Amino acid sequence: MENLLHVGKNVPRTAEIDKVTGHAVYIDEYKRPGMLYGKILYSQYAHARIKSINTEKAKKLPGVRAVITGYDIPDVRVGFLGDQTVLKRDIVRQFRDEVAAVAAITPEIAEDALKLIEVEYEPLPAIFDPIEAMKPDAALVHETDARGRPLRSNILPLPWKFSAGDVDKAREESTYVVKHDVTTPWINQCCMGTSGCVAEFDSNNNLTYCAQTNVIFGAKQRIATYLRNIGLKGKKIRVLNPVVGGSFGTKLDTDIYEFICIQLALKTRKPVKIRFTREEEFAALPPRQASRFTIEQGCDKEGKLTFRKVDAILDNGAYTSWGATTPSVMMLPISSMYRVPNVSFQATCVYTNNIYSQAMRGYGNPQAAFAVETSMDLLAEKAGIDPAEFRLINRNHPGDVTPMGLKITTCPLEECINTVKEKIKWDEKRGKKNGRGVGMASLIHVAGGARVYLSDGTGIRIKVNEDGEVDVLSGSTDQGQGSPTVIAQIIAEATGFRPEDVNIVFGDTALGLWDAGTHASRHTFVAGNAAVRAGELIKRQILELAVQHIPKLVKRSLKQQQKKNPDFVPPELDYTLIDSPDKLELKDRMIYPREAPDHPYFKTEVGKILTSGLHVGVGESKAVAAEVFWDPPTQMLNAEMKGNYSCTYAFGTAGVEVEVDKQTGEVKILKLVSAHDVGRAINPTLVKGQIYGAAYIGIGYGLTERVQVVDGKVVNANFRDYKILTANDNIPVEAVIIEDPDPAGPYGAKGIGEPGLVPTAPAIANAIYDAVGVWIKDLPITPEKVLAALKAQGQ
Amino acid sequence: MKKEITFTLNNEEVIVEVDPKWTLIHLLREVLELTGTKEGCGVGECGACTVIVDGEAVNSCLYPVMEVEGKTVATIEGVALPDGTLHPIQQAFIENNGVQCGYCTSGMIMSAKALLDKKSDPTEDEIRTGISGNICRCTGYVQIVESIQLAAERMKK
Ligand code: FES
Ligand code: FES
């Protein structure tokens, strides 16, 4: 596999040059003739009955083209559990409930019109604490389910329960056992480009929908269901992506504003754009959910883990989006991080009148890893073993099958841990308790697809034009992670062209083959695999042309030379060197015989073969094109939450050195080393970009970020109060790429989109304990919490 | 009441009628259709809207449009040479992964340019301070800082 020309190289992101010149078209710039602007009116209460809505004044405002409420559109349910409607008619169950919407000729007029809508509410008792909401006599957030059947509890009917081995027996037999609680906050994904979409119906009521979704076919299907349910059956839907200003999970589900936009477009017969303000992005977009874990772990005398028991309570908020499915990914660290034979896990999702949650980079993994990895340090301490050593003792090995059935193929976890130890000077710095300390945490994540739908596949179409351009239609999307470069490198390698020859169109359901979505760190792995396969087909087609055309070209050129120079003696050429495509190779735009790579006559530029081979004449002309749909051999989780749902898994370790100021409680990160198993780095610079970016969000998760929700209301909906790290925080992050090419990956690559975020926060918590001896088990670790903990210890 | 203002925008004189209530970003994006300048928050907290006015990086979402009268404004669209040759900062962002989703990029590049125009050899701390008003969610800033360093080095030559 060596001798790679493009894979493994730091190819620049020239394909995205418009992003540095200001010409890239995001949803902000996407415009259609006659386009209107939509704005949404949200609830004033966390729980209330809507007594009346009066839109008359708003309708009369000049420039307003439509004002709609739940009474103006069919009362159709949407969402993962069908537990909400697009505009709420009778009851609002959270502050961000959508009550009315306006379309107007400018966003400003639409905004003004919202202020003219009069809504009368009758407040109802609201419930904000999931523990309270779980009690049998708690007030119900929903009185009925999607089908109108009465509900008796706020606990969602979701199957998050897993068990392997015998935890009770293992606990009894353990030498050391620890148990603790952790909590994690709501986190906003904070895409710098806020949410938005443009919906447009043609005269046949077919819909063109420009959206930031990273799951174009999933969005299309959800919209199709919605249109069918409102009476627009059989309409054609095309979903398109603009350039997307960050995703991080926000674009996984189809949000309510998107259905509203579609309704406004339908009502006005005009293209309608909705684009969120930053305040809306904080208050009306589902964040990463808040969670609480109780985790108990045990080990034997030698420090081998014996069992792990985890109970999680997830604040579901008032409705259900993908946040409620994060336990399927929490399962990864809980069941499979380190070797642990006996595992039990239960997650309870509870309705409250808080904001509801969505996906965010890492899905449930960062939450659960915070529980598991802080527990690892507690247990190591109890067993008197160095936490790094403790992790090495229990590390996963290639060939392991974990309790949930994950088949570990490649696993350089030992190298990740040792690299971090060395780089962070672990042995020298650990255990001083002098205000400075080091900590670490590891991760496991899906890195080879993730079968969350029946199909985990993706399709790619490639055609090579007569001028040597390689046009690619990808069914996937790009959110800025660099796929236009990385997939181009893979295709260049597989076809024998150069990355700059490759032009990829992403994000168009009309053009691309089906794709499960650019999520779960799956894109490079799954689309890369499809690209390698399609690229090989393309190469084969070109080599078949070459078998026919190289001899023709050579003979013609020899004849010409003879003509020019009658003394020229044509050489005796061995045409059997090139009489089959198997005997030829195409690399870096050159075709040559495998047996004689520098053959002076047979080595031919691919462009010549395309020119002479494609446009030939009646009956002879050809096109070079191939398509591959590749569905990885992954399994869906079964009813017991077991199954090998990815082809391969990524491991990694973060090590942190901190300094804690005992006077202020301030935590300063002196160094963060994030070592990641990436299989093979297709583009090391871009891989590092993924690690740095994810690690930085992880630091925010650990130290500063929290959506503050007070009685159901987001009270810090801006960047002044929501503390996102800036360049001035100057945290030295070192990203280390560990390569151990995975046999299933495209040129050995594994996914690396999410892993960097996962171990960062627990590594920080563990380092703080090493520095000053206090455990902060409640994220984020703010100075106030550190001070309070120090005080409680009498420090 | 609209008023006429005159200023220099990306090396060209512009005479335009504006509503005095507008911010500079409104004029740039909505009227002049220079949409490279992004609005990430609209209230001066993210830096996506950064442009250069008389040599200083400013948040155009806060900048009153009347105040550009007689001044010189540079936006991302004017950073590359007219023939399309990228500025060294743009080139470095492309080569060193200083850009991911790209939403913060225009503002980042303008902040970086304002800095390098004044100081050709900034320290890492000065670079970090120079872009501290620009939030980026994708990169963790590491490769942005490196890109600016790389550009500074090349610009010296
Ligand atoms: S848009 Fe101007 S600072 Fe955010
Ligand atoms: S590149 Fe996405 S916000 Fe900076």
Q: Is the CB of B110 under 6 A from ligand 1?
A: no
Phi/psi for B115 (5° steps) reads -65, -50
The answer to whether domain A31-126+195-275 and domain A291-394+412-452+636-792 are alike in fold is no
Residue boundaries of the structural domains of chain A: 31-126+195-275, 291-394+412-452+636-792, 457-630
Write down the pLDDT at residue B157. 83
A718–B41 CB contact, under 8 Å: yes
- Tell me the mean pLDDT in the region B50-68: 98
| CA A486/CA A42 separation, integer angstroms | 41
A733–B140 CB contact, under 8 Å: yes
Phi/psi for A347 (5° steps) reads -125, 130
- Residue type for A282, please? F
Q: What is the Å distance from ligand 1's center to B38 Cα? A: 8
Q: Of the candidates B35, B94, B140, which has its C-beta nearest A693's C-beta?
A: B140
Give, for ligand 2, the residue of B100, B141, B143, B145 to mutate: max count of ligand atoms closer than 8 Å to Cβ: B100
Please state the three-class secondary structure of A428-491 as a single string.
Answer: HHCCCCCCEEEEEEEEEEECCCCCCCCCCCEEEEEEECCCCCEEEEECCCCCCCCHHHHHHHHH
Query: Tell me, what DSSP letter sits at residue A653?
Result: E
The fraction of chain A above a pLDDT of 70, given in percent, is: 100
Task: Provide the token pair at A598.
Answer: 């520098």
Report whether pLDDT(A628) > 60: yes
- Tell me the mean pLDDT in the region A672-686: 98
Angle at A749 between CA A747 and CA A753, to 5 degrees: 150
Task: Provide the token pair at A459.
Answer: 């399709």
B77–A697 CB contact, under 8 Å: no
Q: Is the CB of B61 under 6 A from ligand 1?
A: yes
Write down the pLDDT at residue A324. 92
Residue A573: helix, strand or coil by DSSP? coil
Phi/psi for A176 (5° steps) reads -125, 140
Q: Of the candidates B42, B105, B139, which has its C-beta nearest A689's C-beta?
A: B139
The distance in angstroms from the start CA to the end CA of chain A is 58
| CA B88/CA B94 separation, integer angstroms | 10
* Probe site for chain B from A17, A20, A733 (most B CB atoms < 10 A): A20
Q: Is the CB of B106 under 6 A from ligand 2?
A: no
Write down the pLDDT at residue A721. 97
Ligand 2 atom with the shortest distance to the CA of A191: 3
B88-156, which class in CATH? mainly alpha
- Is-cis flag, bond preceding A185, omega within 30? no
| CA B108/CA B37 separation, integer angstroms | 10
- Tell me the mean pLDDT in the region A73-88: 96
| Confidence class for position A795, pLDDT limits 50, 70, 90 | confident
Write down the pLDDT at residue A1. 54
What ipTM does the predicted assembly reach? 0.98
Q: Are B20 and B65 in contact (CB under 8 A)?
A: yes
Task: Provide the token pair at A706.
Answer: 């929290």
Q: Which ligand is nearest to the CA of B28?
A: 1
Write down the pLDDT at residue A178. 98
Ligand 1 atom with the shortest distance to the CA of B59: 2
Query: Tell me, what DSSP letter sits at residue A147?
Result: T
**A155 in contact with chain B, both atoms CB, cutoff 8 A:** no
Q: What is the Å distance from ligand 2's center to A413 Cα? A: 30
Tens of pLDDT, residues A349-405 = 999 999 999 999 999 999 999 999 999 999 999 999 999 999 999 999 999 999 999
Write down the pLDDT at residue A617. 85
Task: Provide the token pair at A40.
Answer: 């949404």
**A793 in contact with chain B, both atoms CB, cutoff 8 A:** no
Mean pLDDT across chain A:
97
Given 3.90.1170.50, 3.40.50.1000, 3.40.50.620, 1.10.3720.10, which CATH number is that of A31-126+195-275? 3.90.1170.50
- Tell me the mean pLDDT in the region A44-71: 98
Write down the pLDDT at residue A774. 96
Tens of pLDDT, residues A118-131 = 999 999 999 999 99
Cβ contacts of B60 on chain A, cutoff 8 Å: none
Write down the pLDDT at residue B123. 98
Alpha helices in A384-412 (DSSP H): 387-393
Q: With a CB-CB cutoff of 8 Å, which residues 180-219 of chain A face chain B?
A: 189-194
**B94 in contact with chain A, both atoms CB, cutoff 8 A:** yes
Task: Provide the token pair at A518.
Answer: 């650019």
- Tell me the mean pLDDT in the region A503-516: 96
Tens of pLDDT, residues A159-175 = 899 999 999 999 999 99
Residue boundaries of the structural domains of chain B: 3-78, 88-156
Q: Are A219 and A60 in contact (CB under 8 A)?
A: no
Ligand 1 atom with the shortest distance to the CA of B135: 4
Q: Is the CB of B139 under 6 A from ligand 2?
A: yes
**B28 Cα to chain A: minimum distance (Å):** 12
Q: Is the CB of B146 under 6 A from ligand 1?
A: no
Report whether pLDDT(A493) > 90: yes
- Tell me the mean pLDDT in the region B114-134: 97
A40: nearest Cα among A222, A287, A280: A280
- Tell me the mean pLDDT in the region A230-235: 95
B7: nearest Cα among B78, B67, B60: B67
Q: Which ligand is nearest to the CA of B141?
A: 2
Which CATH fold topology does A457-630 show?
Aldehyde Oxidoreductase; domain 4 (3.30.365)
Q: How many CB pairs below 8 Å do chains A and B form together?
A: 164
A22–B131 CB contact, under 8 Å: no
Write down the pLDDT at residue A618. 86
Q: What is the CATH number of domain B3-78?
A: 3.10.20.30
The fraction of chain A above a pLDDT of 90, given in percent, is: 97
The answer to whether domain B3-78 and domain B88-156 are alike in fold is no
| CA A754/CA A476 separation, integer angstroms | 17
**B76 in contact with chain A, both atoms CB, cutoff 8 A:** yes
A555 forms beta bridges with: none
Residue of A nearest to B135 (CA): A726
| CA A707/CA A283 separation, integer angstroms | 9
**A118 Cα to chain B: minimum distance (Å):** 27
Burial class for A505, CB neighbours closer than 10 Å (0-12, 13-18, 19+): middle
Angle at A355 between CA A216 and CA A454, to 5 degrees: 35
- Tell me the mean pLDDT in the region B24-49: 98
Report whether pLDDT(A745) > 80: yes
Please state the three-class secondary structure of A177-242 as a single string.
Answer: EEEEEEEECCECCCCCCCCEEEEEECCCCCEEEEECCCCHHHHHHHHHHHHHHCCCCCCCEEEECC
CATH 3.40.50.9100 for the A291-394+412-452+636-792 domain, yes or no? no
Residue A218: helix, strand or coil by DSSP? helix
- Tell me the mean pLDDT in the region A44-57: 98
Neighbours of B70 (CB within 10 A): 10
Tens of pLDDT, residues A253-277 = 999 999 999 999 999 999 999 999 9
Report whether pLDDT(A460) > 80: yes
- Tell me the mean pLDDT in the region A68-75: 97
Write down the pLDDT at residue A2. 62
A498: nearest Cα among A535, A540, A530: A535
Residue of A nearest to B45 (CA): A719
Return the residue matching tokens 């400018």: A106
Alpha helices in A241-309 (DSSP H): 256-268, 278-283
**A111 in contact with chain B, both atoms CB, cutoff 8 A:** no
Angle at A375 between CA A372 and CA A378, to 5 degrees: 160
A480–B138 CB contact, under 8 Å: yes
A150 forms beta bridges with: A144
Alpha helices in A203-326 (DSSP H): 216-229, 256-268, 278-283
| CA A197/CA A32 separation, integer angstroms | 12
Q: Is the CB of B107 under 6 A from ligand 1?
A: no
Q: Of the candidates A28, A686, A720, which has its C-beta nearest B97's C-beta?
A: A686
